[in-house]
Amino acid sequence: MHSLPDYNGHYGVRELCDICPMSQLELCAAAHRVPTAEDVRQVARVLPEADKLQVVDISERAAVVSGLASEQPRYFLQHALGFQVHDERHPHHERRHGRADIGWKGTPA
């Protein structure tokens, strides 16, 4: 929080915002911008390890990309854009923070 919008861009994944006070939601709402595919490619240009990046889809929730060899370029893109970036090889699950398949109530082990 610290009077700044969430640098991970969680505002697009609204079910994750239920722990934040209204003042924080207002900050995040004001900063929330859905990037274009060109925006994603432009930010990725500074990363040699993102040279095979493909933008698969962009929604209000996240940009889905492919072609990244590791998580680090995805983190950079997400933080630079202030918007969720998901790798299509590792889908994020609705109503969950992150991608873990275990550890959630009602989830089979």
Q: What is the pLDDT of residues 22-60, one digit of tens each?
A: 898 899 899 999 999 999 999 999 999 999 999 999 999
Q: Is residue 109 part of a domain?
A: no
pLDDT at 5: 83
Q: Is residue 97 part of a domain?
A: no
- The length of the chain in residues reads 109
The domain of 56 spans 10-87
Q: How many domains does the chain have?
A: 1
Q: pTM of the entire structure?
A: 0.80
Q: Is residue 36 part of a domain?
A: yes
Q: pLDDT > 90: what percent of the chain?
A: 53
